[in-house]
Amino acid sequence: MLTLDLHRLRFYARIYAKLILLQLRAAVEYRADFWIGVVGAVLMNGAGLVFIAAFFSRIPAVAGWSAWEVATLYGLTMIAYGLREMLCDGIWTLRVQINRGEFDRLLVRPLSPALQIVTSLASIHGVGNVLLGLVVFLTATHRLELDWTVAKVLWVLMTVVCGLIMVTAISFLANVIGFWEPGTQSSFPFMVSNVVEFAKFPLELYGWGIRFLVTAVLPYGFVSYYPSLILLDKENPLRWLGYATPLATAAVTFVTAWVWRKGLARYQGVGH
């Protein structure tokens, strides 16, 4: 049902904000976890950044991309991914909740189960990713002497919002498998999710297989690469795809919503 009910929408936004803030607060209260999360995020992505720095210290550009341009991609991806971790990480609890029957309780509340599942957890790890991503992105665009027009600012905002939605939608797709196979062992969701790593680098680096994968199957390319073609004014035959970013995001969201419904209808609970 795609009826736009403004009251309902506002209501959902309010409940969502309350839930996620409470979860973030609870996460911060586990203090050791908080610091491990932040430091972990910085270390993990720091390694990637060191790699870029080392790589570009020898070669000035790869496939037409300079170091700071690649850093822009890297930063954008980290921001989108980190926001997802901060705001929608609960989806990663879906398989466990299905497996243990805890999902039951989401179905007896007058609230969309999808909203309840994304708010069942907030990860501090994301805060580190977002902060580091921001630093990297802002430094890179500064070094590139990007001319910040209003249009560009709006374009970046659109990119980040679409990126967050895209990454979240794909996380849903990856985890919805729990409705079909309620085991919690499968590494399938992690594999799907980790494809995002490709989006941190220009797609020119990859063969046609991977390009196709991140453009048409798990379109992580729209999280940073395609919109950056426009942001950074790159000459590229696929530049027009950058403008399709909102469309691609909407398409993935639509497919995800459809699969989610199919999965929900299959829910069988557990035996007690």
Partner 1 sequence: MPIIEARGLTKRFRRPVKPPGLGGALRHLVRPRYEDLTAVDGIDLSIEPGERVAYVGPNGAGKSTTVKLLTGILVPSDGEVRVRGIVPFANRIANARNIGVVFGQRTQLWWDIPVREAFRLLGDIYEVPDDAYRATVGELVEVLDLAPLLPVPARQLSLGQRMRCDLAASLIHSPPVLYLDEPTIGLDVAVKARFREFIRTMHARRGLTVLLTSHDLGDIEELCERMVMIDRGRIVYDGPFAELTRRFGYERSLHLLFSAPLPEAERVIHRAIGERAPVIIVQPDETSVTLTFDGRETSAGELIRDLATALPVADLRIEEPTAESIIRKLYEGTLSFDGADRSDRQAIRT
Ligand X SMILES: Nc1ncnc2c1ncn2[C@@H]1O[C@H](COP(=O)(O)OP(=O)(O)OP(=O)(O)O)[C@@H](O)[C@H]1O
| Interface with ligand X (CB under 6 A) | 268-272
Residue nearest to ligand X (CB): 271
Output the smallest distance, CB 3 to partner 1, in A: 14
- Given CA atoms 174, 43, 124, 136 in this order, what sign does their dihedral have? negative
Q: Which is nearer to ligand X, 191 or 270 (CB)?
A: 270
Could you say which of partner 1, ligand X, none residue 158 binds, taking C-beta under 5 to 8 angstroms by partner kind? Answer: none
DSSP per-residue letters across 162-211:
HHHHHHHHHHHHHHGGGGT---S---HHHHHHHGGGGGGS-GGGS-HHHH
Shortest distance (Å) from residue 268 CB to ligand X: 4
Residue from 62, 96, 111, 195 binding partner 1 (CB under 8 A): 111
- The minimum distance between CB 259 and ligand X, in angstroms, equals 21
In whole angstroms, how close is the CB of 158 to partner 1 at the nearest point?
31
Q: Within a 10 A sphere around the Cβ of 263, how many other Cβ atoms?
A: 18
Smallest gap from Cβ 100 to ligand X, in A, equals 12
Q: Does 269 bind partner 1 (CB under 8 A)?
A: yes
Hey, CA dihedral for 92, 96, 99, 104, is it positive or negative? negative
DSSP secondary structure, 8-52, as one string:
HHHHHHHHHHHHHHHHHHHHHHSHHHHHHHHHHHHHHHHHHHHHH
Three-state DSSP state, 123: coil
Identity of the residue, 58 or 272, whose beta carbon is nearer to ligand X in the bound complex:
272
**CB of 31 or CB of 272, closer to ligand X:** 272
Residue 108: CB minimum distance to ligand X, A: 16
Are 123 and 27 contacting, i.e. CB atoms less than 8 angstroms apart? yes
Residue for token pair 């990713």? 129
- Told to check if 1 binds partner 1 by CB under 8 A, we report no
User: Read out DSSP for 150-161?
Assistant: HHHHHHHHHHHH
Residues 3-42 that bind partner 1 (CB under 8 A): 11, 14-15, 18-19, 22-23, 26-27, 29
Query: Distances from the Cα of 269 to the Cαs of 54, 99, 103, 119, 158, in angstroms?
Result: 51, 8, 8, 20, 39
Does residue 251 belong to the site contacting partner 1 (CB under 8 A)?
A: no
> To the nearest 10°, the Cα dihedral for 11, 12, 14, 17?
180
CA 224 – CA 243 distance, rounded (Å): 12
Nearer to ligand X, 3 or 268 (CB): 268
Nearer to partner 1, 207 or 271 (CB): 271
Of 120, 159, 171, 249, the residue at the interface with partner 1 (CB under 8 A) is 120
- Per CB under 8 A, the list member of 3, 149, 185, 268 interacting with partner 1 is 268
Member of 1, 6, 151, 265 binding partner 1 (CB under 8 A): 265
How is residue 103 written in tokens? 């999902």
Residues within the interface to partner 1 (CB under 8 A): 11, 14-15, 18-19, 22-23, 26-27, 29, 100-102, 104-105, 107-112, 120, 265, 267-269, 272
